[in-house]
Structure 1
Amino acid sequence: MITLIVVRHGDAEPQVEGKEDKDRKLVKKGIKQMRRVASFLDEMGYSVDRIISSPYLRTYQSAEVILDELFDSDNEKKVETFDDLTPDKDPSLFLEKVKDFADNSTILIVGHEPYLSNLVKAISGANVEIKKGGIAIVDYDLKEGKGVLKILLTQKILKLI
């Protein structure tokens, strides 16, 4: 069993003509949202083994904020980027890679909608929408190839915790 912590990136710059979507940066509100996610994970005692992000700037920055909040500066962990996590990809490509992850590990995945909700549905059958800065936690049985949605939180709820 592995734990997948699925996080949608925080608020980013608006889409503007002449700037590619993949180059949009996280804004201050988005940074705050990711700090809130990290605080929740820390309070709940999650120990993250790997951090994987889409290569888009706003998701990578979101993953870095969480990494910086969860670990001290001498930590060896780095954010890995997977092209399979871009918004237009099919989650089954990423799920093939998940089969190679270490059993009993906790993986933080930072990405986009509707990709992330499709990933959660492919794993657990749960029909969800992950809002910006939202988090879903899924226990995934590698042998069975399916999982169970354990937690789904929005920023509104994280603010109250």
Structure 2
Amino acid sequence: MADQLWLLRHGDAEPHGTRDDFDRCLTARGEAQSRNAGVALKAAGISFSAVVTSPRVRARDTALLACEALGGKPVVHEALSGGFSGGQALALVGPEHGDRVLIVGHEPDFSSIVHELTGARIDMKKGGVAGIRLGPAPELIVLLRPRELAAMAGEPRP
């Protein structure tokens, strides 16, 4: 099986200006989106060799809530705070973290990474998931919006 890179954008967060951007927390909706992502991925039989997260509070909390269903403990990676590239994302897959890595982080990094690696132009929603099959010609294999993840998790739309 080819290596895979999965991206989970943090759930809905407090508005800009409520506190320092680094410290913005998830809203109740964002918490539900994060849990739904974990439950949906697990229900689909998708597991990860590692979950790596941005240090920003909203991303860390998203990772923790998703991992309630997925298992494991997220690893904080400082570079995911912002300005992360496809090459940096690829470096997380392999000897250090295994062959199927979930990265929890931010836009516009994620849509840029998907475009850089696959050529696909996507709109990555808060609480949304993208999966990329790596190899000589990386391919976007799944793009799920929060409402689709909620349905997969058996929950009403958050």
The TM-score bracket by the shorter chain reads: 0.7 to 0.9
Q: In the alignment, which of 103, 123, 141 is matched to residue 129 of structure 1?
A: 123
Consecutive unaligned residues in structure 2, runs of 5 or more: 153-158
Post-superposition shift, 1:24? 0.4
Q: In the alignment, which of 114, 120, 142 is matched to residue 114 of structure 2?
A: 120
Post-superposition Cα deviations, 1:85-144, rounded to whole Å, max 9, x if no partner, equal 223x14045146236446972111111111111011111111111000001011112xx3
Distance 1:10 1:103 in 2: 23
Query: Counterpart amino acid of 1:160?
Result: A
Which residue does the alignment assign to 2:25?
Answer: 25
Distance 2:42 2:106 in 1: 23
Alignment identity in percent?
Answer: 30
- Answer yes or no: is the 8 Å Cα contact 1:114–1:129 preserved in 2: no
**Matched pairs, number:** 151
Which residue does the alignment assign to 1:110?
Answer: 104
TM-score (ref. length: structure 2): 0.86
Q: CA RMSD in A?
A: 2.0
SS in 2 for 1:129: coil
Post-superposition shift, 1:70? 1.8
- Answer yes or no: is the 8 Å Cα contact 2:50–2:98 preserved in 1: no
Q: In the alignment, which of 150, 153, 156 is matched to residue 159 of structure 1?
A: 150
- Answer yes or no: is the 8 Å Cα contact 2:52–2:104 preserved in 1: yes
Distance 2:85 2:99 in 1: 20
